[in-house]
Amino acid sequence: MTPTGHPPLAARRRRDVLLLLVGAPAFITALGIASLELWRLSSPDSRAFSSPAAASLAEAIARDDVNRAYDFIRGGEDPNAPLLVEHPALTGGRKVRVAPLIWAVATDADRSLQMLLGFGARVDAKTIRQARCLAEQLGHTRLVRSLEKHGENLANDEPCPRPGESGVTPFEALARAD
C-alpha cells in the first residue's frame, strides 16, 4: 500500500488486466447470444433456425411437416404405398412397412393425417378401423375424432381389439397384420 492507502500502480494494472481478461469474453459471449436471439426473433423462418427438410414422405409425416409431405405426393409418391419406417418406441427399432395413413396416426401427425385423407389416401372400412383403433390405443383422441368423422359413412362398428400381452406394441401388431 502507498501512503495514500491505495495499492501500488503495478498491482492496480495487474488487477485491471485480470478483470479485462475475465470480463471481456463474458461480455462478448453475452453480446453474441443477445444478437443471435434478436436475429431469431426478427427472422424465425430463416434457414439458420430450422431443421433440415424431410428426406422422405415417412419423415415428413413423422414431423407433421404437411407442406413437405404434400410436396412428395404432388411429386408422384403414392399416398397409399407402404412406407418403410423405423422408430425406437413405435417399431422397437425395427424397420416395418406400413401405410402412410397409419404412420400419421402412429406419430400423432394430425395435419399430415388431414392432408392424406384429403389427397388420395385409401379410406376403406378396414383402413379407417385400423387407424382408429391404433389412435385409441395410443391415446390420440384428436385423431380418433377426425377418423370417426371421416369414416362415418363406412361400416366399422366392430370394436377394436384389446392390446395383446405379447410384448408387441399396438403399432407393431398392426404392421404385422398387413
pLDDT per residue over 36-55, tens digit each?
Answer: 888 888 887 777 777 777 88
Instruction: Calculate the average pLDDT of the chain.
Output: 82
Same domain for 23 and 72, yes or no, is: no
Nearest to residue 154, comparing CAs of 178, 131, 177, 120?
Answer: 131
Residue range(s) defining the domain that contains residue 91: 57-177
Give the predicted TM-score (pTM) of the model: 0.67
Query: φ, ψ for residue 153 (rounded to 5)?
Result: -90, 0
- Per residue in 129-162, pLDDT (tens digit) is 888 888 988 889 899 888 888 766 555 566 776 6
Angle formed at CA 138 by CA 133 and CA 141, multiple of 5 degrees: 75
Q: What is the CATH number of the domain that holds 99?
A: 1.25.40.20
Same domain for 133 and 45, yes or no, is: no
Angle formed at CA 88 by CA 52 and CA 170, multiple of 5 degrees: 120
DSSP annotation of 158 reads S
Identify the residue whose cell numbers are 412397412: 97
Determine, yes or no, domain membership for 103: yes
Amino acid code (one letter) for 28: I
Same domain for 66 and 137, yes or no, is: yes
What is the Cα 55 distance to its own chain's centre? 14
Determine, yes or no, domain membership for 2: no
Sequence-ordered list of residues with C-beta below 8 angstroms from that of 146, at least 6 positions apart, any chain: 110, 113, 114, 117
Same domain for 85 and 137, yes or no, is: yes
Domains identified in the chain, total number: 2
Same domain for 81 and 41, yes or no, is: no
Same domain for 127 and 79, yes or no, is: yes
Same domain for 78 and 160, yes or no, is: yes
Same domain for 137 and 69, yes or no, is: yes
The neighbour count for residue 127, using CB atoms within 10 Å, is: 20
